[in-house]
Each structure stands twice: as C-alpha cells, then as structure tokens.
Chain A
Amino acid sequence: MTHTVLVTGVSRYIGARVAGALAADPKISRVIGVDTTPPLSLLTGEGVPLGRTEFVRVDLRSPDIAEVIEAADIDVVVHMSLVSAPVRGGGRVPMKEHNVIGTMQLLAACQRSAAVRRVVVRSTSAVYGSSPTDPAVFTEDVEPVEAPHSGYGKDATEVEGYVRGFARRRPDVTVSLLRFVNLMGPGVDSPITRYLRQPVVPTVFGFDPRLQFIHEDDAVEVLRRMASEDHPGTFNVTGDGVMLLSQCVRRAGGVSVPVPSPGFRILSAVARRAGLVEFSPEQLRLLSHGRAVDGGRLAAELGRRPGYDTAAAFEDFLRSRQAAGNLPLRLVDGFADLITAR
C-alpha cells in the first residue's frame, strides 16, 4: 500500500535529508514537508535536494497543520522539528513554544485524523539529563536521576510526555519515539559541531565527559526505516562506543583550555552574547558529566547496527573540514625527529 508522509522540520538539514530519502522511495506516493521557513533548496537551488517533496509553509503552533493532515490524507507523520537551541535573535520563549506547543498542535491534529497510522518523533538523549550520580550507560527503561529542568532537555521531556499521552489515546497508531545522541557528519551544523570546530576549545577543568555521536547517514536511515515500517516503542539512537571530549579535541587538532567550572559559565555567557557559540546550561552539564546510552534495543529491532560507530562518525566530520594544527603534537613530533636524527 502506498503512503503519504508528512515531515516536519523539513527546512533544516536532517529534516531535508530524511524527506529526500523518503521521496526517493517508490513505495511512498507523496512526501509533504512543512516548516516555518522554506528549505534552502527551494530558495537558492543549493542545499539538500528534496526530490518530489512538496513544501507547505506552516507554523506548527497554529491549527493550520490539522488542515494539511486532513487535506492530504496523511498516514505517516515524521516529527523532526524540535530545535535544540534558540535561533539567533530569538530566545528561549519562542524555542519552547515551537517545540512544545508545536508538538501539541501536531499530535492534536493526528488524534483527530482517521488516516494517520504511524507517528515517528525525533527526541533526544538529553532527556536523561547529565549528572555525576547517573548510571554510566542509559537504557531506555532507566529513569533519569535528575530530570532536565531547563532548555532542550526539558522541552524534549515534555514532548515525550505528550507523545506517550497520544499513544495511550490512539492505541491503533504505531508510535516510535527516537532518542538521538548528537548528530555528527560533514553536513551537520549544531552547537556541538561548532564548539568542536574551534581551534581553541574551552573545557571544564577536571572533567572529561563521555560523548556519543550518530552519523547523519545512519540517522537518516533509521528515520527512513521507522517511517516505512512499524517499530513501536522508545529507542536510543547512537553510534557504538563513546569518545572522551579530550579525544575529540585532540583528533580535531584543537587545543583544549581547561577553565574551572564557574569561569566556564561566565565565558559561555560572554560567548553567547557575542554570538559565537550557543551554550545552554544543560549542554554545560553534558560537558562536565557526559552521558552514554545503549543502542542495543534499536539494533535488535532493526536488525542492523549503525554503519558508523561514534569514532568513525567523528572522523567523517573531521574529513569535511580543514584540520587544525595540533600544536602540542607537532612540538613532540619535532622533538622526536631531533632525537632520532641525532
């Protein structure tokens, strides 16, 4: 049977890639992408090709989304419009409205629709929070020790609550909730990739957090499978393995500058004002305590592990950019050359 798929957040990179992948699937009859701004490929012809995706400009916070779902007879909804950081010049309030109220409107429309049979929601592993009293590796069933009380993590926790409520009220709809770790890859532009791209990386003194990445291609493949098959449940989505922040910085050729945690807070506030890097308090917690999740349940469900593990995803991200110098490494290598030449 053919499907009509609605993709929210289509103007952002990963949303556009998923829409493009779904549009390339002959079993899917229509792909309708919605977002508040038109995608780059429509504006300039550059960016990710969307194929036969039809774009509709809808603000999710408005009830217009219900009309789109009704008019197009949507049967699969892929909700990927959660934003992890306030847009420049915006603030926390519009971000929260967009994330939480937007999801509520979308789910309200889905609940009304007789045609919707499958809902896939992109959430984040930030719902587990990040604290020194966490277990080292979160499985889907572990409740966070400290639920995130600000920012993206809190939005996602609330969004997940509404998604669970929807799943209870519409047990006939297959609901998949995906908790993604940080996306990584040549096309990804996020607070964490911008942070790791800096030649000098401020880190929190005395902490070397564990980080995990999922490669963009694997993320697209997971979302494509979820949109075209029934996989109900909550799943962590991560590349295998972990990397320490120190490893990331060294492999990127940057120099890390440990700053004691109160100083780090001030520094990040200054950077935010200056529009350099966007860092929310829960990202600061992540940079102190780190977090790892277990991707085993998803691998068992899909019968496939991500093609890139965490380290490979990071390496692919590094390949796409000019390598920095790694000054300490060059000094040691120079010294080694001196000794061996002796």
Chain B
Amino acid sequence: MTAIPARVLPLPMEPDEDPPGRGDPDSRIAGILDFIHRRLAGEYEVDEFGFDAELNDKVLLELLRPLYRHWFRVETVDISNVPDTGGALVVANHSGTLPLDGLMLQVALHDDHPARRPMRALGADLVYKLPVIGHLARKSGHTLACPEDADRLLRGGELVGVFPEGFKGIGKPFSERYHLQRFGRGGFVASAIRAGVPIVPCAIVGAEEIYPKIGDFPALARLLGVPYIPITPLFPWFGVLGLIPLPSKWLIGFGTPIRTDELSPAVADDPMAVFNLTDQVRESVQQLLEELLPRRGPAFPPLA
C-alpha cells in the first residue's frame, strides 16, 4: 500500500474584494484612487442594456446598503428559492409610494443571495423619461418593461424582477395596505413561458409603512404628468424632511418557484393559459404576504 503524501488543502478563499471597513487604510485609499482612475479613464464595461456592474456594486448599491441594513433592517426569508444560475423571473408586490421596495429587493438579491445576483428590474416608462433617474436605472441594470427586453434578459440567463401591480400597487392608499392589486396584463408570464424560466413569487413586507399615503393631489399630478402626488403624515407638511421614509421593519420572502419549462412556448400565445398562470402567481404572492405579515410583527418594533 502506498503512502498518500500529505497535501495542503486549499483554504476557502476570501471574497475577491475586501468588505468596506477592512484592510489597512493605505491599501484602501489606493484601491479607491485606482477605482476613480479607471472611472475617469472610461476603463469600465457596460452590457447592451447599459448595466455597469462595477458602478452598481461599488457606488449605487453602496448608497442603499445603510438604508437596507440599518434603517429598514431588512431580513430575507427562503432566498434560496431564487436559483443560483440561469434565467428566472421574480414577481413581487409593489408598495410604498416611491419604489424603494424595488431597490431593497435589488440589494437583497445582490448581497444576501449566495450567488450575489444582480436583479434586472423592468420599470415604468416614466422612469426612463426622467433625466438622471432613467440613466441611473439603466446603469443599475434595469430596463423598460416591454416584451422585447424581458425576453432578451430572460433568454440571456438574467434574473429579472417585475412588479406587475405597477402604479396601482405602489400608489394605493395606506388603508389598502397588503392587498394585492390587479396584475397588469400578464405580459411577464408570457415572457417567462417563452424563455422557459421559473417564476419566483416574492413578498415584500414593510414598504407599505414607509410613506403612508393618506391622500393625494390629483389636479397637480395631472398638471405635472405624474401618476400621483401623495399626502403622507409628513409630506408635504415638512417639505424635504417629509421625504425621509419611516423606519419600518422589513421582511422579503421568496416562495417556491413555479416552473414553466414543462409548458410549450406556444402556450405564451394562449391568453387563457397566460391569465390562469398569472392568477396562480398572484395567489402565491398574496399567500406569502399573509404568511410573512404576522411573522414580521409590528411595523415599528421599538414603538410597540
């Protein structure tokens, strides 16, 4: 019997980049300067949607992380239901007057998912008409909600996020919190069927309380061409301060994926089948919301 030579087992590697706050100060400064150098020299890459992965991770998400960790204290539930690789469609409820729920879901999937997946959300065209916001959205990986883009992202193996309630969901009054609105026209389901990717139901608990909408200014909103201008307990009475979201406690949960790869792609052209699957997805999101809501407990724990 031959002796097995002793081997040095490789230790699990540290993640490539140091998390913020670690490493010695000099190398951190050098890293930051190197980052700025590359940005100013234009030495970075974007994909065909305009997604700038480095800017997203190092700057855009970095700005959201304090909000995610300390302000909303977001916890995720069953995030392993989101596949590690390949195309998938995350379908979530939409609430909170301003789309912070989308941003927090993006941080959750990027930072708390083992595969650190960038979420490519499909947004309203209003977003892309606005200067600054529209292009930050593109750099952050998001794109316009249209079948061409949804198909292209899903076929390319990306993780796509949709909020099918749209403005009906995010702009609903506080009294209707945690009641799902109608789910668009089911275009997202057709895209998932065409690409044969799983649909992952997602419930976001906590966003309903950040800007409780108790009224709005319909005439002013029409004048400005926006869907609504909210009245909350703090806005517009406290001006800019009224824009600070209330620090509610958040849970983001993911349900069992609904498979579409067993369906023929032709099903995407059968409106009845698409409606039925849309209803099934909506049911799962509503059910998940009702499970998570008691689990989260009071919206503002220190006050309870």
Binding site for B on A (CB under 8 A): 132-137, 139, 142, 204-208, 210, 241-244, 246-251, 260-261, 289-290, 292, 326, 328-329, 332-333, 335-336, 339-340
29 A-B contacts (beta carbon < 8 Å): A132-B144, A135-B146, A135-B149, A136-B48, A136-B152, A137-B49, A137-B149, A139-B148, A204-B131, A206-B130, A207-B134, A210-B46, A210-B48, A241-B48, A242-B46, A242-B47, A246-B42, A250-B41, A251-B41, A251-B43, A289-B128, A326-B40, A329-B40, A332-B36, A333-B37, A335-B33, A336-B37, A339-B30, A339-B33
Q: A332 to B33, Cβ gap below 8 A?
A: yes
Chain A residue at minimum C-beta to C-beta distance from B143: A136
B50 at interface, CB cutoff 8 A? yes
With both beta carbons as reference points, the residue of chain B lying nearest to A241 in the complex is identified as B48
Task: Name the A residues within 8 Å of B213 (CB-CB).
Answer: none
Chain B residues with Cβ under 8 A from A243's Cβ?
46
Neighbouring A residues of B30 by C-beta, 8 Å: 336, 339-340
Interchain CB contact under 8 A, A206 and B132: yes
Which residue of the partner chain B has the closest CB to A251? B42
In the complex, A260→B43 CA distance in Å?
26
Contact B128 A132 (CB under 8 A): yes
CA distance A142 to B48 in the complex (A): 16
Residue in A137, A246, A248, A328 whose CB lies within 8 Å of B48: A137
Q: Say what secondary structure dominates the interface of chain B.
A: helix
Neighbouring B residues of A250 by C-beta, 8 Å: 39-42
Is B44 interfacial (CB-CB < 8 Å)? yes
Q: Which of B206-245 contact A (CB under 8 A)?
A: none
B29 at the interface (CB under 8 A from A): yes
| Residue ID in chain A nearest B37 by CB atoms | A332
Whether B29 lies near A339 (C-beta < 8 A) is yes
B129 at the interface (CB under 8 A from A): yes
Contact B144 A206 (CB under 8 A): no
Q: Which residue of A lies closest to B146 (CB)?
A: A135
- Measured CA separation A4–B30 after assembly (Å): 63
A205-B132, A247-B44, A336-B30 known; 19 new pairs, CB 8 Å cut-off, are: A133-B125, A133-B128, A134-B144, A135-B146, A136-B50, A136-B149, A136-B152, A137-B49, A137-B149, A206-B132, A207-B131, A208-B135, A208-B139, A210-B48, A242-B46, A247-B42, A247-B46, A250-B41, A251-B41
* Min CB gap A330→B, angstroms: 9
Q: How far is the CA of A205 from the CA of B149 in the complex (A)?
A: 25
Q: How far is the CB of B34 from chain A (nearest CB, A)?
A: 8
In the complex, what residues of A have CB within 8 A of residue B47's CB? 242
Cross-chain contact of A135 among B46, B130, B131, B148 (Cβ < 8 A): B148
| Interface contact A261-B144, CB-CB below 8 Å | no
CB closest residue in chain A, given B131 = A206
Contacts of A290 in B (CB 8 A): 50
Chain A to chain B: the 8 pairs with minimum beta-carbon distance, closest first? A206-B131, A250-B42, A135-B148, A251-B42, A132-B128, A206-B132, A247-B42, A329-B40
Q: Contacts A137-B148, A242-B50, A335-B33: A328 and B40 contacting too (C-beta < 8 A)? A: yes
Query: A208: shortest Cβ distance to chain B, in Å?
Result: 5
Smallest Cβ distance from A129 to chain B, in angstroms? 14
Question: CB-nearest residue of chain B relative to A247?
Answer: B42
Q: Say yes or no: B148 contacts A205, CB within 8 Å.
A: no
For window 15-30 of chain B, which residues contact chain A by CB distance below 8 Å? 29-30
CB-CB contacts below 8 Å: B27-86 with A: 29-30, 33, 36-37, 39-44, 46-50, 52
Shortest distance from the beta carbon of A169 to any chain B beta carbon, whole Å: 31
A324, chain B: closest CB distance, angstroms? 12
Asked whether B144 lies within 8 Å of A133 as measured between CB atoms, the reply is: yes
A294 to chain B, nearest CB (A): 8
Q: Which residues of A contact B52 (CB under 8 A)?
A: 244
